[in-house]
Every structure is written in structure tokens, then in C-alpha cells.
Chains A and B, each alone.
Chain A
């Protein structure tokens, strides 16, 4: 049998694994420094600020073009969500009434629920 220490594929795989570990450890060490946190958050802060300014500008532009802005769409989504919630409540109520009446809904009825009588297996593998 070939020795793994001479198997070029095994050597390559081992090398990739070691490089990954080494780089991750090095990067993790670098990322624990306060300088890293400051730099990352400065970049993140600038990006977030720019995004907000662009959003505000776009909102004004859309209003002037007589197009719905994001806040208007969000308002619409909230109303839709509320309608969806009410529909779900109605659906749940209908489902309850339906199951109480014992009727079948035809297309894809849920199978009857099994009894809740299961006991855990005893140590020998048989139920207690």
C-alpha cells in the first residue's frame, strides 16, 4: 500500500488544509485588534450614510415623477400584510369548522393523526 506521506494528492490536500487553518488563525488574530474594528466600522458607516442620502434623494425624485416611493410601497405592504393576516385567521376558522363537521376537502386531505400513546423504548429495545 502506498504511504500517504508520498502520495502527491494527499500532500496537496494536507497543504490546502494547513494553509486554510494558518490563514484563518492569522486573520482572526488581526481581526481582534481595535484598529481593525475602527477601520471596518468607518467603511461601514460611510456606506450606510451614503445609502441613506441616496435613498432620500431617490424618494424626492420618485415623488416628482409621480411614481410610488419606497415608503408608499412599504405602507401598501403593511396593508397587504394586515389583509393577509385576516385572511389567514378566516382560513383557520374555516378549517376548524370544516374539521368539526368531519367533511373531507378532497384534493390533498391531511391524513388522520396517529394516537399520542407512544412510550419510549425500554433499554432492551422494547417499548416500556
Chain B
């Protein structure tokens, strides 16, 4: 070894050979990448319990011989598809829950059609979620239901829980759920009320197009898409890397449009007036004060979340009225908290150990 330079001269031919092989593999795999589709996502066996417009309620088929008494209803964020929680076998949160003995239902969304532009916040909180809860109760034969909300699904679950504080929600788990929208600095600036005319936008386009939602997410880290493509090219010889890239890239770009009236309410009530944080939020005339939530609650937040920064999420646990409440901060970002290798070793076991004892 050349100690002064820290360079192992003998390893150079091996290194060159390895790089040449990778370059050849890149060319071959690059062609394969273009000509093939990604892995099938969201393939855990499930039954569709109910479909109503943008709302879809699934029941996943149990995978354990014995299951916990309390079923789980997962409320997905309205901007994205639920298969982020059901990527591929071995990397599926749903599969993990099923194998650990939970009975899992999911409220997932499809793109609202033009005729659904008038859906309001109350349709989501006072109709869709309660309707799904009723159907879960009916299907499972159980009164109690645990609700898990991801990102804005967490906000909807909080609103639901604060209005229906007397039940039947037994436990609430929120993943990366914002409540102080002042702290979502960039989104705040994008929707600055002095310059952003939400009424004009909604009145013009009806539903807010997915391209607009996607670009607002991508603008939070404008260089990351290019950098990830460079990294993909470097690692295209590595099948596991490519598989993972394709799964996450497909999900991240598969953004849903938002119903116009619903978007108007989010902008005015949450982004502009920060009503959830200020305890002045109401939905369809019902006060939605999260201090009314008394059920056991777990809030999982990510250390490097660029979409929902910790400052936007940290007050949730202090503001809910529950005595059994816990916040866990785990390494990772907004998506890697719930899916991928990071989630498998960190969040999922943590959630299982918290929820198991509260599901009997």
C-alpha cells in the first residue's frame, strides 16, 4: 500500500476490471430497464368491500391462524396511493401486520372525477371515514376499531377522532401528521394568501391537477430528482437497487388530483388560518378540537422529513387529550419512515410492540 497517498496500488487492476464490468452491465440493464415494467405493487390478497366514487375500502385476507380482536382501518393520504404500504412481499407493511395477527382494512383513494370537484372536507371526515368504520364493524363483527392515518390521512383521522370522540375508535396511530401548518414553510410560501388566489384556481380547474400536486412536492427538493437519476444510472447493474428505485419512483409520481372544494378548505382553514393548531377548526359545523381525543395514540415522525418537518408535527402529542400517548422519532424521511428497509427494522416492529397489547 502506498501509505502516503492511502492508495492500494495492487487493487487498481481489480478495480478497473470491476468498473468495466459494471459499465457493460449498465448498458445491458439500461436496455432492460427501458423495455420492462417495474415490479407488481400492492399485490397482497384483498377483497374490495366498498367503492363509492373516490373512496375504496379494502379488506386484506388474514395471514395468521389467530388474529387480534380489534381490526385496523388505515386511512391513506388523499394525495397518494395506498400501495406505498403494500409494496412487494417482504417489503409490505400490510403483509407485516397480517403476519403479526392483525385484521387490516384500508381506506384508499382513486382520482376524484370532475363530478366530485364539490367534495368538501365534511364529505371526507363526516361521511367517508364514518362509513368505512361502520363497514369495518359490520364485516369484522367488532365494535372497536384502531385507526392508522398516514400524512394527511392522519389529519383526517384526527378530525374524525375529535368529532367522534365517544367512539368507536379504540386506538389512533398517526404517521408524520402535521398540525401546525405555519411550520410547513415552503408550502406556506407557495400558498401565500397575498399572491395565491385559491378561489380563482378552484373555480377555473375544478379538481386540482396531480401535476400541480407533484410539482409542489418536487419543488421542496428541486435537485433530488436529477440526483436520483444519476444514482440510478450508477447503480443500474444492481437489481435490488433498481427494483427499489422503480417502486418508490412509481409511487412518488403516481399523485392523485384533489377535489376542488376540499383543496379550498385545506388552503383556507389549515394553510392560511392554521385552525387545527389554533383549536378553531370545525368541519360541517362540528367543532374539531383534538383535545377531545382521549384514546391511546402513537405518533411516528421522521427525523429527516422534508414534507412534514418535525416543527409542524411535534405539537400533536401535547395537544391531544389522551393520557396514553407517545411520540416516536425515527431515522428516515417522510416515505422511508413507513416503507422500505428503514421501516422494516425501525417503525414496523415498534408499532407492533405498541399496538399488540392495545388490540385485545
A: residues with CB less than 8 A from B are 1-3, 5-6, 9, 13, 16-17, 19-20, 23-24, 27-28, 31-34, 36-38, 40-42, 44-45, 48-49, 51-52, 70, 73-75, 77-78, 81, 84-85, 88, 92, 110-111, 113-121
Q: Contact: A118 with B223, CB < 8 Å?
A: no
Complex alpha-carbon distance, A127 and B157, angstroms: 31
Kindly list chain A residues whose C-beta atoms are within 8 Å of the C-beta of B200. 45, 48-49
CB of B27 closer than 8 Å to a CB of A: no
Kindly list chain B residues whose C-beta atoms are within 8 Å of the C-beta of A2. 6-8, 11, 15
CB of B50 closer than 8 Å to a CB of A: yes
Q: Contact: A16 with B230, CB < 8 Å?
A: yes
Stretch of B201-209, B282-290, B337-345 with 4 or more beta carbons under 8 angstroms from chain A: B201-209
Q: Contact: B62 with A113, CB < 8 Å?
A: yes
Interface string of B37-76 (1 = CB under 8 A from A): 0000000000101111100000001101111110000000
CB of B254 closer than 8 Å to a CB of A: no
Contacts beyond the supplied A2-B6, A40-B195, A118-B69: 7 A-B pairs with Cβ under 8 Å: A16-B231, A19-B223, A23-B223, A37-B195, A84-B51, A92-B49, A120-B356
CB of B142 closer than 8 Å to a CB of A: yes
- What is the total number of residues of chain B having a CB less than 8 Å from a CB of chain A? 58
Q: Contact: B113 with A77, CB < 8 Å?
A: yes
| B66: contacting residue among A13, A38, A117, CB under 8 A | A117
| A121: contacting residue among B103, B114, B356, CB under 8 A | B356
Return A9 CB to nearest CB of chain B, in Å.
7
Kindly list chain A residues whose C-beta atoms are within 8 Å of the C-beta of B19. 9
Return B354 CB to nearest CB of chain A, in Å.
10
Return A3 CB to nearest CB of chain B, in Å.
3
| B186: contacting residue among A32, A41, A78, CB under 8 A | A32
CB of B234 closer than 8 Å to a CB of A: yes
Kindly list chain A residues whose C-beta atoms are within 8 Å of the C-beta of B203. 52
CB of B257 closer than 8 Å to a CB of A: no
Stretch of B28-36, B86-94, B214-222, B239-247 with 4 or more beta carbons under 8 angstroms from chain A: B214-222
Return A42 CB to nearest CB of chain B, in Å.
7
Complex alpha-carbon distance, A74 and B230, angstroms: 43
CB of B82 closer than 8 Å to a CB of A: no
Q: Contact: A17 with B115, CB < 8 Å?
A: no
Complex alpha-carbon distance, A110 and B197, angstroms: 50
Q: Contact: B115 with A37, CB < 8 Å?
A: no
Q: Contact: B234 with A13, CB < 8 Å?
A: yes
Given contacts A3-B7, A28-B186, A120-B360, contact A114 B62 (CB under 8 A): yes
Instruction: Offer 24 A-B interface pairs, CB within 8 angstroms, sorted by A.
Output: A6-B6, A9-B19, A13-B234, A27-B222, A31-B189, A32-B189, A38-B195, A40-B190, A41-B195, A41-B196, A41-B197, A74-B113, A74-B115, A77-B113, A92-B49, A92-B50, A113-B103, A116-B103, A118-B64, A118-B67, A118-B68, A118-B359, A120-B359, A121-B356
Complex alpha-carbon distance, A101 and B357, angstroms: 35
Complex alpha-carbon distance, A111 and B64, angstroms: 12
Given contacts A38-B195, A121-B356, contact A88 B234 (CB under 8 A): no
Kindly list chain A residues whose C-beta atoms are within 8 Å of the C-beta of B61. 110-111
Kindly list chain A residues whose C-beta atoms are within 8 Å of the C-beta of B356. 120-121
Complex alpha-carbon distance, A48 and B62, angstroms: 47
Kindly list chain B residues whose C-beta atoms are within 8 Å of the C-beta of A13. 231, 234
